[in-house]
Structure formats: structure tokens, C-alpha cells
Chains A and B, each alone.
Chain A
Amino acid sequence: MNNNVTPDYIITICDGPSCIHKKSKELKESVTAQLKRFGLLDKTRIILSGCLGMCAKGPVMIINPGYTIYAGFNIIDVPEIIEEHLVKKTQVSRLVVQEDNLYNRFYRVFGDVNFFGKQMRIALRNCGIIDPESIDDYLSVRGYEALAKVLSDMQPQDVVQELKKCGLRGRGGAGFPTGLKWSLTAEQPGPEKFVICNADEGDPGAFMDRSAIEGDPHTVIEGMVIGGYAIGASKGIVYIRAEYPLAIKRLEKAIADARAEGLLGANILDSGFSFDLEIRLGAGAFVCGEETALIQSIEGRRGMPRPRPPYPSVKGLFGKPTLINNVETWANIPVIILDGASWFSSVGTEKSKGTKVFALAGNVVNTGLVEVPMGTTLREIIYDIGGGIPDGKQFKAVQTGGPSGGCMPEQYLDTPVDYESLQQAGSIMGSGGMIVMDEGACMVNIARFFLEFTQNESCGKCTPCREGTKRMLEILTRITEGKGEAEDIDKLERLGRMIKKASLCGLGQSAPNPVLSTIANFREEYEEHVRDKKCRAGVCTALLSYTINEKCVGCGACKRVCPTAAISGAVKQRHVIDPAKCVRCGKCMETCKFNAIVRG
């Protein structure tokens, strides 16, 4: 359809990673076919949007006007939805998402796109609303207005000043004041400087950056051009994971479109300011999220961090002053410029301004992307937005900050999410991973999981991280295998503290966090593993034993599924498990209809 004609209907189909695998493309074809059938194709605009955040419920489709969200349906439901909704003007209520807290809070803004007052999605403000492959869409939501404002009305130092005033802090993890970083880089002599967008998102279970770029690539570009203007750089680089082909494709298109519109390249908007962007791909190294390692990688080397100082703001890429921010930080910039530092700093807490995007995952009803004002409590995020713990289970811990963060138990649920509070609670803000764990999680095993990750991602340069995390992992592994020794917990703490303080880069300095925080908060679980050789969550298989109690009727079902023939017993007689043969797979327990098999 012709983009200049205002459509009667807008159908937004989520094209996020979870939804793609639930056939968003076929869905689009089916919707198109149905629209054709009713002669509505010309009056309707179909948008394949970035991640809408409702990953647990895909596929997801929003029909406007009416702002009705359909989710969890099948392609065969499409004719019914189109006919009922667009032709008969009713709803297929069984497929409509209605009372879910997550979505109410999440998409309240949808009906009222331009009104930013109530907006809680700043970084992700356009994700799911616009077609990420259309620069016109972005322009229609005040896109590149901030850039125009900066180039026509502001001096570079004004931009830096605005950034300092707004209180924005780096969203990549450490929370360094963004304005300060900009001014430090701006102060350095030129002529050659660089602006880098760190999109090497690598936390297991985090996909904020991916969704942000896939859903709204232009906002990152706009932020970076503004950054380049502010610090006096004419070249920007987006360092992005090669594992994100869709994000790369959309970013490439956005860059090409922006160039074609004169928003990127030489003499942007006739201002005399020139700035261009280049994409550099990572190749699968978590440590490249660390800024000095990232620089090494862009230079074509092994991503091994180097000691700081000198900081990248002084000596960065190719030895030149370099400004590095992550995707979410960049995505905030246009809003700060447009709506002003004072507006931005009215959102959030005293020391942490604005909003933060989290990837909510784990044992929680609604998994997906959440953007909340700083200061929102963990409880609000997990229970009000996330819908609580599924299957009637008990909350046990929440882990923020990915493998660099810590695990917080119940008593920290009322902690507001801001940099300082999370740190006090023994965790970190990190880049936005948030994993909820229920009673079925073994904290020793979780600590081991995270440490295994960082250990595997250690670049191998500095001794504490390379050798120390290996030893910690060995100790944790033997604890989970029932071979822990009395002094092992102390050894973990001793190594952990040393690694934190002595490692070369942020990866090593934070690698022990999951272990130290679980020891601090769940020490008795560690002690049970070591002393009693017991795993209360029943996760550490080496510590489990299966027995058959008096409820056994001798049906023989367990005997038949046992892969190692560890169960014996005559028909209609109580069966027995031979612990020497049992491999603790738990199949017997799953099979038993009489609850006669107990795990201890």
C-alpha cells in the first residue's frame, strides 16, 4: 500500500526471535491473504515489528485501532480473527490477551504513541510500534528530530552538558556516568576520534540489545551521530555479535537509509558535520563486552583486555580517543535531547535516572523484555509484571547481572532496581539479565553454572581469572558431586575475594559474584552439600537417592522404564531399587502412578 495514505488498520506482527520460530512469516502471509479476501489490503498496514516482549506467549499480533493483542493462537485462527475483528468489528475473545499485568503495564502507551508523559519505555519506545525497516516510520515518531535539534541549536559542549545534567549512567553494567564519559572524550585532542556502540551482548539469557536493534535500529544510529557530534568524532562503529543476523541486517538497512536521507555521511542535514557508521562483527567472545577487549577485537586481534589507564576516552581504538556506550545507553540519547535532561532525570531515583530494560526469564510466568523506571522493586517486576512463579511453586532467588551478578533471596525482593541498591544486595545491575529461580533450583548448581560460563569465556590473559576460576569451578563441581570437603567453602571465598580484587578486567573481577553471593545468602545449602551430602532441590544427581515406599503395589511400571535394571521385585510385591545400579535418572519416579517412589 501507499505509505502516504493513512491506513484504516495497522496490524503489528511480532517478529522477535521467539515468534519467528512460531512462524511469524507464515502468519504475515496468512493475514495478507485474508485481508485480500475481504478487500481490506489497501486499507491496512502490516508491520513486522521487533520483539514485543511477550516471548512466553507467541505468536503475537496487535490490531489497531482498538489496540487488541492476540497471542498464542494458530495460523488456522487467522481467518476468524480478521473476519471478526476487521469486518464484524468484534473480538475473538478467547485469543485476546487481556488481564495480564505484564502487558497492561507494557503496552499502555500503544494507543497514545506520541504522548511521552506516561512513557515507561524510553529505550524501547518504538519497539513493536514501528516497522524497524522503515525510516519513514521512525521519522513519524519524532525520529532524527533530536539530531536536527543538536545540529541546528546546540554546540557540542551543550550536548555534553545536557548529558551530564540528565544523570544517565551506562546501561552496559558498571553504571559509569555517561555525561562524564562524554566530556572526558570530548576534552581529548583530535582530529581522529571514535564512537563505538557495544552490541556484543553476551550474557546467557539476555537479549535486550538484540531486541532493541531489531525493533528500532535508527534510534541507536541517531544516538551515535549525536555522540559523535558531541565529542568531535566523525566515525562510529557498531560492534555486534555475529550471532544476530536479523539485527545486523536491519542495522545495515537502517544505516543505508539514513545515508540516503542525508542523516549519516558527509555534511549531515547541511550542518557541516560529517559522521559515518560501520558495522564490525564479533565472533563469539563474551569478554569482548569489556571495552578494552572490544577495542582489540575491532582492531582485528584476540579480544584480550589490557590494563587501564590509559582509558579508551584517552587512548582507545587505534590509539585514538574513543567513546564506548552500549545499545541501551545510545537508545536513550535522542529522548534525552528531545525531552530534556530535567524531564529525563525526573524518572528514576536520586542516583539512577531513567529506565532500565530487563530480560526477564527463568521460573516466572511472563518471560520477556521489561523496561521499568529505576527504583521499581524486584517484587513489582517479578510479581506484578512477571506474574509471579508458575506451578504454585515458591520463589527462591532472583539473579541479576548475568554471570557477573549475584543471587538475591526473598528478603531482598523489596530492593529497588538501581545501581547502588543492587550492589548493596550483593548483586549488580549488569546489562539487564534477570533470572527468577524457584525452590527447584539448587544454588550451588546455579553458582556452578555461572562460573562454568565465565570460566569458559575467560580470555586466559591474567592469572587470577584463568587459573582461579578454574579452581573455583573444580571445587564447586566436587561439591555438587558429593565430594566436597570441609574447607572447600572457605577456599571458594578466599579465591573469590582474590579474583575479584586482582583480576585484570571486569569479567574476572565479577566472575566470583554468583558464587560469593550464593555463599552469603545460601550458605546452609552449601553446607548441606558438603556435610550431609544432600541437595535439597534435588538437582545434584550424585547426591540423590531413590527409594520405594510402602505405597508400592508391585505394578512393575518402574521396573520396565529403568534404563539400568536397577529395580527388582515380584508382581504385586513391593519393589526395591539397587542404589549401586541406579543412575538417578528419575524415570521411575515420573512413571509411578502411586507416588511410591521418593527421592531423598
Chain B
Amino acid sequence: MKEKVIVYFNNKPFEVEAEQTIMQAADKIGFHIPRLCYHPSLSIEGACRVCIVEVEGMRNYVASCAFPVSEGMRIHTNTKEIRQARRDIVELILDNHPQDCHTCERDGICELQRLAYAMGLRQRHFEGERKRYEKDLSSAAVIRDPEKCILCGRCVRLCSEVQKANTLGFAHRGFKANVMPAYDMGLNESVCTGCGQCVNVCPTAAFLEKNYTQELFERLNDPEVIKVAQVAPSVRAAIGEAFGLEPGRAMAGETVAALKRLGFDYVFDTQFSADLTIMEEASELLERLQSGGKLPMITSCSSAWMKCLEQFHPDLIPNVSTCKSPMSMMGALTKTYWADKIKTDPKKILAVAVMCCTAKKYEAARPELRVNGMPATDLVITTREAAWMFKSAGIDFLNIKPERFDEPLGLSSGAGAIFGATGGVMEAAIRTAYELCTGETLLEIELESLRGFKGIKEGKVMMDGKEIRVAVAHGLGNANELMDVVRADPERYHFIEIMGCPGGCIGGGGQPYAGSNSIPLDEECLRKRAEALYGIDRANTIRRSHENPHVQRIYKELLGRPLSKKSHELLHTHYSAKEPRGIIGNETKE
């Protein structure tokens, strides 16, 4: 039991727990104090001053996000003075912000807009000079628009505290203060992994994914090309949120139908290529185990993680699985296997990936993933972009009649679905590896120790009398920490799953923005999205990748067996150290 104290909010007494901030106490008793720079997963900044309240006996207002409650404290959240001060603060932010809400990508889903509305800001008193900066369009994944930045610092804290990539920092000072990569270089030159978490936490449009919706609309009109889409597992678990639904509704059928209405000829399931990934990866693991290859083997599905590895951990590149990501496997098969099947020139295929991820845009542009000189994936759009396109095209997503993925690249096992949640790849891999190794079917297939949102999870499985030790990390910060463990104790694990985003792909940088009453990166929301994927798995009669009949068929028709020459040609790739080298930094905050 925590100690309780009596505090007064607006003259009414409340018994609240001690050792919490005024904001935390207020949240629990139902006073929502306006806020901006505060984020529950990040350190307290106390910078925006939007959450100020009046505390009797204090000369100045206090930031409720940072100030602890104490016995007898009398707090006022809505006096005339505090309302005016708060309003003026929000106006000051707006006064230095472009007045282009109508043409802004986040119009209607912008925290600043909401805040201004809630403040009752109907007039501007203090307008003056406004900062002017160029947009940084250099990255294939993320756009930085410093003019829209309101310096709340969430992205900076996220990038350093959660992802520990330290791509972004504050630079300059005072009115010229701004958020940027080192030397104000383009994100493409920096250590940015493209994870897009900055987009998720940004309250405005200072960070956005590189948007390909207009280009896609145009190309969908081209009668000469065959339009093929693939949909990542996590997209179906979150897209409903963009239409106002609560998190956790799986909407695969609706997504397929909507994509068809948009003009796609075929819609495939990335879960199919996830199954294929498992076949290859599980075999690779077994091979490394048997032939004394480099261990622990580390997964390679997450594009942000792969860029992070190449810049921050190039010494561990030999540990990484050579498997392409499910998206790139699907792209490769679409332009070879599928093109052959429909007897079409692959150059006439437009391969589009609908992903929960911004870094996949970067991945799609990697030259080593090209197939026969063509990009395997032509365009990547995020869940957000897809939702916007459906809306823009007038598609009634919520009431649309669900449709099925096209075959043969649309059938998947439950194992492919859980790829989207942290621990899912590992779980799926174990289901298959166990059988490949022992020849027996693993019955206890729901590996609880690998589920959930603990930063680093560990587990072990007995395979053929040998203990296989595994670990799972999600979020690049946890990944970095796990890599240090690997360096210190290379024998500790045999197999490691890493996902670049907190929660795995379900928390990807391309997922719908938090609605008006929710918080970006909220763990509860991630949990519900994960639950949607576990639900798909449970509902599936096929729950092991190797049991997927179309996977079996493609080995029969094209690949022969996992790790075959053909497999290597189409489904595997390589990685190399990249500049500039990333520095994780020794945090000395004690």
C-alpha cells in the first residue's frame, strides 16, 4: 500500500497516492490537465508549460507533469489566470507555427489543433516573426519539417531514451532552437533507422512518413500494369483505429476488399511470405547449429533494425540471418514466380506493400534487394496512408464486405500472423524448427514467456535433447542492450529475435495516429493489437508455417528445399557496415 495524502483540486478534497505528480493524481480522479510535451513512456521535460497549474503558496505556476503532490496541497486547474496563461502559451506556440492546417497532412488529427480548440483560442494577440526552414526530404522513409516543430522534444527523447539511436537532438538555442540530426545533415546521411517512431509521437506534422499516395493513385490508373498489393500482418490489427474503432479489431478482409476497390488486381498476404521466412530462417538456424555456424543467429525481418545493425553493430553482421524480410520475399516472388504463373512481363507488375512501417520504404529502395534488375517492391505505403487512400477514394471501409486474399500467395498459417507482435517470429520459428529438427510436432505452441512487452524476454526449448536458448527484444534501445549481452557472452543464446519498434510491428512507425483520447505508443493499445493477431492465429486451423500448403507447393514448384540455390537467389540477401557509424553513448544520467 502506498501512502495516501489529501490534496484539493479546485477546492474539493481528494485522497490520492503520495509520490506521484499532480498530473498523475489528476488523471486518476478525472481532471484531464492539458499537456503537450509530456509522454508517459518518456522522461519528464517540463518544457511546454501547457500543463501548468496554480498551487497555493507557490509564487509561480508549477508544471503538473513534474511537480509531486503533498499533504494538504491546494491545486487550482481552471482559475481565470491559469486559463489565460495556458491559452496564451498555446497561442505563442501557434504564433510560431505555419498557419496551413487546411493543407497539412495532420489536419484533424493534430494534437496542437486539438489543444488550441480546447483552450478556446479564437483570436491571436501576439503574432510576429515565424521561423522558416526547409523540409528535409532526403530520407526514403521519414520527412522532417522543422517549421512545424513546436519543440516539445518528444521525438528527441524517444530517439535517445527508447530507441537509443540518438539521431535527433536539439540544436541552437532560444528562438532558433530546433530539432535536427547532427550537423543539420539530411536524415539519409544520418544514423536514422527510419523506424518512424518520431512520427508516432510527434504532436504535429514535424515528422511524417514519405508519402506515396498521390503517386500510387496515379499508377493505379495505368491500364498497362498489373497492380499487386501485399498487406503486412499488423496493418489489419490497427487500420480500424484510423476509422475511429477501438484498437484490437482484426480487419484483414475489409482491407483486401478496400484495396481491390482502390484498383488492385491482386492482393496477397505478407503472412504467406512470413511463413516462407520461417521455413528459411528455421532451416538456417538448424544448419548453423549443426555445422557450427555463427551463433547466436539474429533475425533480419525488421528494416529499421537492419539499418541500425549496419551502422551501430557491424561487428555482429555475421550473426544475422541472411533471410530477406517477408515483404521483400513477397516482392521477389511476385516478380518471378507469380509473373510466370500469370504469364506476364514482371516489368509490368506494380508491386505495392501496405506496411505498418516507415522503414520498409527505405528497405524497398535497397539496391541489393532488386530482382533481375527490378525493384522487388515498387512502392510502400503505411497503414495510415492506406487508410487515407480508402477515405479519399470514398470507400466505406467499415461497412465493406470482406474479401479473401488471392491465392497462392495469400494463404497463411497462424504463425505468419503473429509475426507482427514482439516474440512472434521467435514463436513461429520454434514451432517449425522443432519439427524440422526432431521430426515431431510441437504441441505447446503458445510460448507465453515470449509474449508481452518486457524489453528483453528469454526462453528455452529442448530440441532433440539439446537446450536451445532464445531471446527477444523489441525497440532499438532494448536491441542495443541485448547486443551488448551477446558481445559479452556469445554462448548465452542460440537465436535472437529483434524488432525495431516498441511492441514489434504492431507498434510500427506507420500505424494510425493516436486518437483524441489515446496516447501514441500506449502499451494498452499495443496489447490489443497483439491480441488481434493472436486471435487470428488461434482461429486458424494451420498454425505452423511448414503446414501451409501453398508454402509446400512453392518449394515443390520452384525452390526445391529451404536454403537451396534458388532460395538463396530469391529469398536471401546480405548486409554490410554502413557510414556514419552509430554511437549509442554511455548515458551518465544517474
Q: Do chains A and B touch in the complex (CB under 8 A)?
A: yes
Interface residues of A (CB under 8 A from B): 285, 299, 302, 304, 306-307, 309, 318-320, 455-464, 466-468, 470-471, 474, 491, 494-495, 498, 500-504, 509
Q: Does B576 contact A (CB under 8 A)?
A: no
B176 in the interface (beta carbon within 8 A): yes
Given the interface pairs A460-B151, A462-B46, the reply to whether A502 lies near B61 with Cβ below 8 Å is yes
Which residues of B are found within 8 Å of A461, using beta-carbon distances? 45, 47, 151, 153, 177
Q: Does the CB pair B49–A504 fall under 8 Å?
A: yes
Residues on B with C-beta less than 8 A from A467 are 92-93, 95-96, 175
B49 contacts which of A299, A304, A462 (Cβ < 8 Å)? Answer: A462
| Nearest CB in chain B: distance from A595 CB, A | 42
Chain B residues lying within 8 Å of A302, measured Cβ to Cβ, are 170, 173
In the bound complex, do residue B67 and residue A455 qualify as a contact, i.e. CB atoms below 8 Å apart?
Answer: no
Q: Is B48 an interface residue (CB 8 A)?
A: yes
The residue of chain A having its C-beta at the shortest distance from the C-beta of B170 within the complex is: A302
Contact in complex: B49, A494 (CB < 8 Å): no
Segment at the A interface, from B124-132, B138-146, B244-252, B336-344: B124-132
Are A319 and B175 also in contact (CB < 8 A) when A463-B48, A471-B126, A501-B85 are?
Answer: no
Of all chain A residues, the one with the shortest Cβ separation from B46 is: A307
User: In the complex, A539 Cα to B63 Cα: how many Å?
Assistant: 41
Q: CB-CB contacts of B85-108 with A at 8 A, as 1s and 0s?
A: 100110011011000000000000
Interface centre among B60, B67, B126, B177 (most CB of A within 10 A): B126
Chain B residues contacting A306 (CB-CB under 8 Å) are 46
Provided the pairs A307-B44, A466-B151, A471-B128 are in contact, do residues A502 and B96 lie with their beta carbons within 8 angstroms?
Answer: no
Question: Is B92 a contact partner of A463 (Cβ separation < 8 A)?
Answer: yes
Q: How far is the CB of A380 from chain B (nearest CB, A)?
A: 30
Neighbouring A residues of B126 by C-beta, 8 Å: 468, 471, 491, 495
* Closest B residue by C-beta to A470: B175
Question: Are the CB atoms of A462 and B129 closer together than 8 Å?
Answer: no
- Contact residues of B between 330 and 362, Cβ < 8 Å to A: none
Tell me which residues across on chain A come within 8 A of B172, comparing CB atoms: 460
User: Is B589's CB under 8 angstroms from A319's CB?
Assistant: yes
A502 and B174 contact, CB distance less than 8 A: no
Q: How far is the CB of A100 from chain B (nearest CB, A)?
A: 42
Name, among A285, A306, A319, A491, the residue most crowded by chain B CB atoms within 10 Å (CB to CB): A306
* A467-B93, A468-B92, A501-B60 given; A455·B85 CB < 8 A: no
Q: Which residue of B lies closest to A487 (CB)?
A: B125
Check B49 against A502 for contact (C-beta < 8 Å): yes
User: Interface 1/0s, chain B 166-193, versus A by CB < 8 A?
Assistant: 0000101111110000000000000000
Cross-chain contact B128 with A460 (CB below 8 angstroms):
no
Per the bound structure, the CA–CA distance linking A502 and B53 in Å amounts to 9
Flag if B173 contacts A460 (CB, 8 Å).
Answer: yes
How many residue pairs between the two chains, A and B, have CB atoms under 8 Å in the bound complex?
Answer: 109
Closest Cβ neighbor of B93 among chain A residues: A463
Contact of A463 among B47, B128, B174, B588 (CB under 8 A): B47
Q: Select the residue from B50, B170, B175, B177 with max chain A CB neighbours within 10 A.
A: B175
| A502 near B588: Cβ-Cβ < 8 Å | no
Which residues of chain B in 2-32 are interfacial with respect to chain A, using CB atoms and an 8 Å cutoff? none
How many angstroms between the C-alpha atoms of A304 and B128 in the bound complex?
A: 25
Q: Check if B66 is an interface residue, CB within 8 A of chain A.
A: yes
Residue of B nearest to A287 (CB): B173
Q: Determine the chain A residues whose CB is within 8 A of the CB of B89 once the complex forms.
A: 463-464, 468, 498, 502
* A452 vs chain B, min Cβ distance (A): 11
Query: Can you show 21 pairs from A to B with CB atoms below 8 A apart?
Result: A302-B173, A319-B590, A455-B174, A460-B173, A460-B175, A460-B176, A460-B177, A462-B46, A463-B47, A463-B48, A463-B50, A464-B92, A466-B151, A491-B126, A494-B125, A495-B88, A495-B126, A498-B89, A501-B60, A503-B49, A504-B47
Q: B84 at interface (Cβ–Cβ under 8 A)? A: yes
User: Assuming A470-B128, A494-B88, A502-B89, is B63 touching A320 (CB within 8 A)?
Assistant: no
Residues in A neighbouring B175, C-beta threshold 8 A: 455, 458, 460, 466-467, 470
CA distance A455 to B129 in the complex (A): 14
B151 and A299 contact, CB distance less than 8 A? no
In-complex Cβ contact of B174 among A460, A498, A503, A504 (8 A) = A460
Q: Does B501 contact A (CB under 8 A)?
A: no
If A285-B173, A501-B85 are given as contacts, then 7 extra A-B residue pairs at C-beta distance below 8 Å, sorted by A number, are: A318-B590, A460-B176, A461-B151, A462-B46, A462-B48, A494-B84, A502-B85
Interface residues in B59-83 (C-beta closer than 8 Å to A): 59-61, 63, 66-68
Q: Do the beta carbons of A504 and B46 come within 8 Å of each other?
A: yes
| List of A residues within 8 angstroms of B49 by Cβ | 462-464, 502-504
CB distance from A378 to the nearest CB of B (A): 25
A309 with B177, Cβ < 8 A, contacts A464-B49, A502-B61, A509-B60 known: no
Most chain B beta-carbon contacts within 10 A, residue among A471, A494, A504: A471
CA distance A500 to B151 in the complex (A): 20
Q: Does B473 contact A (CB under 8 A)?
A: no
Task: Give the top 6 A-B pairs by smallest Cβ distance, nearest first.
Answer: A460-B177, A319-B590, A307-B46, A467-B92, A307-B66, A458-B174
Q: How far is the CB of A465 from chain B (nearest CB, A)?
A: 8
Q: Which residue of A lies closest to B43 (CB)?
A: A306
Cα–Cα distance between A509 and B96 once the two chains are bound (Å): 21
Q: How far is the CA of A258 from the CA of B172 in the complex (A)?
A: 39
Q: Are A466 and B95 in contact (CB under 8 A)?
A: no
B52 within 8 Å of A (CB atoms)? yes
Given A307-B67, A502-B60, A491-B125 contact (CB < 8 Å): yes
Contact B177 A466 (CB under 8 A): yes
Q: Which A residues are in CB contact (< 8 Å) with B96?
A: 467, 470
Closest A residue to B590 by CB, please name it.
Answer: A319
Q: Which residues of chain A are within 8 angstroms of B93 by Cβ–Cβ distance?
A: 463, 467
Q: Mask for B102-135, Cβ within 8 A of A = 1, else 0?
A: 0000000000000000000000011011000000
Q: Which residues of B contact A458 (CB under 8 A)?
A: 173-175
A466, B174: Cβ atoms closer than 8 Å: yes
Bound-state CA distance A304–B92 (Å) is 20
Interface residue ranges of B34-60 to A (CB < 8 Å):
44-50, 52, 59-60
Map CB proximity to A onto B398-414 as digits: 1 under 8 Å, 0 otherwise.
Answer: 00000000000000000
Contact partner of A474 (CB less than 8 A), chosen from B47, B128, B176, B590, is B128
A494, B93: Cα distance in complex, Å = 16
- CB-CB under 8 A for A457 and B129, given A463-B49, A502-B52: no
Q: Across the interface, which residues of A come within 8 angstroms of B44, CB to CB?
A: 307
Q: Which residues of B contact A494 (CB under 8 A)?
A: 84, 88, 125
Tell me the complex Cα distance, A66–B53, Å: 64
CB distance from B67 to the nearest CB of A (A): 7
Shortest B147–chain A CB gap in Å is 14
Instruction: List chain B residues, Cβ under 8 A from A299.
Output: 588
Nearest-neighbour CB distance to chain B for A26, whole angstroms, equals 41
Q: Could you tell me the distance between the alpha carbons of A74 and B84 in the complex, rounded to whole angstroms?
A: 62
Question: How far apart sit A494 and B589, CA to CA, in the bound complex (Å)?
Answer: 38
**In chain B, what residue has the closest Cβ to A494?**
B88
| Alpha-carbon distance A304/B46, docked complex (angstroms) | 11
CB distance from B302 to the nearest CB of A (A): 31
If A457-B174, A467-B96, A471-B95 touch, does A462 touch B88 (CB 8 Å cutoff)? no
Q: Is the CB of B66 within 8 A of A470?
A: no
Task: Give chain B residues whose Cβ lies under 8 Å from the Cβ of A462.
Answer: 46-49
Closest to B68 in A: A309
Tell me, in angstroms, the Cα distance from A501 to B49 when the chains sit together: 10
CB distance from A25 to the nearest CB of B (A): 37
- Assess whether B590 is in contact with A498, with CB atoms less than 8 Å apart: no
Contact A474–B170 (Cβ < 8 Å): no
Please judge, given known A-B contacts A455-B174, A460-B173, whether A470 and B129 are in contact too, CB under 8 Å: yes
A518 to B506, alpha carbons, bound, how many Å? 57
B546-590: CB near A (< 8 Å → 1, else 0) gives: 000000000000000000000000000000000000000000111
- The reply to whether B63 and A307 form a contact with Cβ atoms under 8 Å apart is yes
Cβ distance A143 to chain B, nearest Cβ, rounded Å: 36
Distance of A500 Cα from B52 Cα, bound (Å): 13
Q: Which residue of A lies closest to B58 (CB)?
A: A501
User: Which residues of B sit under 8 angstroms from A457, Cβ to Cβ?
Assistant: 174
Closest to B48 in A: A463
A31 to B151, CA, bound (A): 59
